[in-house]
Structure 1
Amino acid sequence: MQTADGVRFAVVGNPGNRRVSLFADAVRAAGLTGPRVVAWADVLRGRGADFAPDEVVRVDSPGERPEVDRMLRGAVEPTRVEGSARWYAGFTAALGTLRGGIRLDEPGELAVLFDKRLCHAVLDAAGVPVPASPTSGADGAPVRGWEDVRTLMREHRMSRLFVKPAHGSSASGVLAVEAGGGRVRATTSVELTADGRLYNSLKLRRYERERDVAAVVDALAPDGLHLERWVPKAGQAGRAADLRVVVVAGRATHAVVRTSRSPLTNLHLGGRRGDLDGARAAVTASGGRWSDVLEVCEAAAACFPRTLCVGVDLLPAVGWRRSFVGEVNAFGDLLPGLTGLPGSGAEGLDTYGAQVAAVLRTTERHPAAPVPAAEPVPNRNSA
């Protein structure tokens, strides 16, 4: 696995998974030998967690592999929404078994990134604009179910908010809740069965009976809940719009607009890629600067300085004048076919190529550096 310039990669992931394959393609495109792949299944069985001191180690998502999901969540079916707390405990414990290598992430930061409550608190403390997040009282007690949610909505005068599983991803279990006039409505990808079980679905559903909304929230509450004020999003072509911005080594390198007719813009839930040039123009027309939008994402990423790459979900408010960070994703770089932003230093590279390039730039100067440092990028305001 040794290369001519001394750089070699390893990746912890699911062999054959598209994430692993795309990263391996990027490594080979840089003229290096493909990475050594350590299977998540082996790590969870207590094997293959040792890395050579000079191996650059990327940890990738354990998702999209039923066997691995069962090992993390126990007997819970892979299509079920419940069980995220057990998944989180298994995932963070497994991170602690990885030994050696030059890490492109840090286990403690990954643990925060995969807990929306902790992540939101870190961002808020750093002054990164985030949606308001009510708590269940001065004692900081966790949200125990729907009754707590209703109480917090009244206390904080929130008629619309998002209820999110603390450890969920890909909008799994997220509810966009609206209340008013004695009625409650929730939009979500959760399928509630007659026996009370929750399943992930690629079809968005709208529940308009409060008892159904309560049943979903109560079933999710034991795994931990995070609440956020619903920020009315900017629009594009009559659809709600937000952005996924990838930040590599401190710099925003890639961005995609996601649009939807529903409150959830995730592309796998029917969202569509929007017009990035149009978003840039809308920001400028509002009196803002595109560079400021990117800097909000970079400020969010700076809260996790020992993690090479994160995907920031940026919520532009109506009018495009203000933006809020909804989430920061440890594995938010799966954007096939997307190349780097002008002026980002990643032009012509996909998200994985940008990460490989950042590692190579750093190792040329500082061979023992654990994570590439941010580099100045010229002409940012023209991007």
Structure 2
Amino acid sequence: MRLTVVGNPDNRRVRMFTRAALAAGLPRPTVLPWADVLAGAAPPPAGELVRVDSPGEDPQVDRMLRQAATTARHGELVGLADAYAGLIGGLTRVAAGGADLLNRPEDVAVLCDKRRCHALLSDAGVPVPAALPPVDGYAQLRAAMAAAGWARVFVKPAHGSSAAGVLALAVGPRQVQAVTTIEHTPDAMFNSLRVRRYTDESEIAAIVDRLAPDGLHVERWLPKAGLGNRVVDVRVLVVAGRPTHAVVRAAHGPLTNLHLGNARGDLDELRAAVGPRGWSAAMETCERVAACFPGSLHVGIDLMFLAGWRRHAVAEVNAFGDLLPGVLSAGRDSYAEQVHALTSGQWQRWRASLGAEPAREVVACGA
């Protein structure tokens, strides 16, 4: 059985998945570049198993995805709704030939829209932070916060990822403060790897108002538990319905993403703090989250334990959140785990248990 990977050929995820497939005795996956998909290349044929990877940081692909916002500079926080539409349109074209996608367009469409994803999880009884009704700018945001009695929120672009454009906003009696990766200039906003702190309310208002046309999702800022002098959360990878890999993300501030220079924490220490029953309950929650996306071989869940360690909540669910280098489960990294789920029939059995349409079986060469 042949595999195709839609992704940028030099992407680390693509290389690691290819190595995992070869190690399992599968033929080398065909790589279909995102640029070719968006330029109208023929989709993979019917019956082909297709893994779709993140479009990544390729400037050409970024411009092609954003379509109407082609004048935007790479990294500029504008045209995020256009990029989302381009992503879903590309996925739809990939699926048009009848290939069996390992991350179905309908799942990705929800996972990459924080508003839809939050609503789906909430309806399924998954613990998530409370969210405000839709807001179209800073004035409406402040009014909604006041009505809810909330002093601290996370303001998130509806279609953002990797903390791009997220503001951790705290409103006090004498000061408003926002922690964010946004680099704000008089004529533009850019995503950066440096966390900034803004205290000028007029500048914070300008940032929110600039983000608002592409859609905002606003959640209550819940106090996370901490280890030592850092707050922590956990990226949990769920493959074929089963939590497999976990990484603790430890930060001095509210944004815990590892690519922002934060540290990996000690998973054993965290599990000891949570206790066996608390950890088991959290993993059951992760299984429930994955069941909301039966067309996805894997999802990456950002799980937070609240101060006191007695409760947990799901902060994010990621369609492309499987890059966990150096983390092994049963001797397998995150990509070998996905290949194992395919070749062992685990993925097919899990989908059947959810009532999803049958999944094609994958066999290694010579099996």
Give the TM-score of the pair, scaled to structure 1: 0.88
Identify the residue that residue 82 of structure 1 maps to in structure 2. 78
**Cα distance between partner residues in 2 of 1:257 and 1:218:** 33
CA change 1:102–1:209 in 2 (3 A) is same
Identify the residue that residue 245 of structure 1 maps to in structure 2. 236
Identify the residue that residue 190 of structure 2 maps to in structure 1. 199
Identify the residue that residue 360 of structure 1 maps to in structure 2. 343
**How far 1:300 moved relative to its partner?**
1.0
Identify the residue that residue 226 of structure 1 maps to in structure 2. 217
**Cα distance between partner residues in 2 of 1:60 and 1:353:** 15
| SS across alignment from 1:50 | coil
Letter of the 2:272 counterpart: A
Letter of the 1:249 counterpart: A
Listed one character per residue, the Cα deviations across residues 349-382 of structure 1 (whole Å, up to 9, x for unaligned) are 111111101011128988993378xxxxxxxxxx
8 Å CA contact retained: 1:84, 1:223: yes
User: Are 1:324 and 2:317 an aligned pair?
Assistant: no
**How far 1:335 moved relative to its partner?**
0.8
Identify the residue that residue 92 of structure 1 maps to in structure 2. 88
8 Å CA contact retained: 1:171, 1:189: yes
Provide runs of 4+ in structure 1 moved above 3 Å.
363-369
Question: Which one has a larger percent helix, Structure 1 or Structure 2?
Answer: 2
Identify the residue that residue 113 of structure 1 maps to in structure 2. 111
**How far 1:289 moved relative to its partner?**
3.1
Q: Which residues of structure 1 form unaligned runs of 5+?
A: 1-6, 136-141, 341-346, 373-383
CA change 1:188–1:337 in 2 (3 A) is same
The alignment of Structure 1 onto Structure 2 pairs a total of residues equal to 350
8 Å CA contact retained: 2:157, 2:216: yes
Identify the residue that residue 143 of structure 1 maps to in structure 2. 135
Identity %: 53
Aligned match for 1:171, one of 149, 158, 163: 163
CA change 1:364–1:207 in 2 (3 A) is closer
**Cα distance between partner residues in 2 of 1:245 and 1:42:** 32
8 Å CA contact retained: 1:128, 1:296: yes
Identify the residue that residue 350 of structure 1 maps to in structure 2. 333
**How far 1:102 moved relative to its partner?**
2.1
Letter of the 2:74 counterpart: P
Letter of the 1:103 counterpart: L
Letter of the 1:85 counterpart: A
Q: Once structures 1 and 2 are overlaid, which stretch shifts more, 74-83 or 16-25?
A: 74-83
**Cα distance between partner residues in 2 of 1:308 and 1:252:** 12
Identify the residue that residue 311 of structure 1 maps to in structure 2. 300
8 Å CA contact retained: 1:104, 1:370: no
**How far 1:337 moved relative to its partner?**
1.1
**Cα distance between partner residues in 1 of 2:105 and 2:177:** 38
Q: Which residues of structure 2 form unaligned runs of 5+?
A: 362-367
Identify the residue that residue 42 of structure 2 maps to in structure 1. 48
| SS across alignment from 2:328 | coil
Aligned match for 2:150, one of 147, 152, 158: 158
User: Are 1:37 and 2:31 an aligned pair?
Assistant: yes
Root-mean-square deviation (CA), in Å? Answer: 1.7
| SS across alignment from 1:332 | coil
| SS across alignment from 2:207 | helix
8 Å CA contact retained: 1:102, 1:369: no
8 Å CA contact retained: 1:246, 1:333: yes
**Cα distance between partner residues in 2 of 1:363 and 1:153:** 45
**Cα distance between partner residues in 1 of 2:46 and 2:246:** 34
Identify the residue that residue 138 of structure 1 maps to in structure 2. none
Listed one character per residue, the Cα deviations across residues 298-320 of structure 1 (whole Å, up to 9, x for unaligned) are 11111111111000000110111
**Cα distance between partner residues in 2 of 1:272 and 1:78:** 27
8 Å CA contact retained: 1:247, 1:298: yes
Letter of the 1:117 counterpart: R
Identify the residue that residue 375 of structure 1 maps to in structure 2. none
Listed one character per residue, the Cα deviations across residues 168-195 of structure 1 (whole Å, up to 9, x for unaligned) are 00000000000011321000000001x2
Identify the residue that residue 254 of structure 1 maps to in structure 2. 245
Give the TM-score of the pair, scaled to structure 2: 0.92
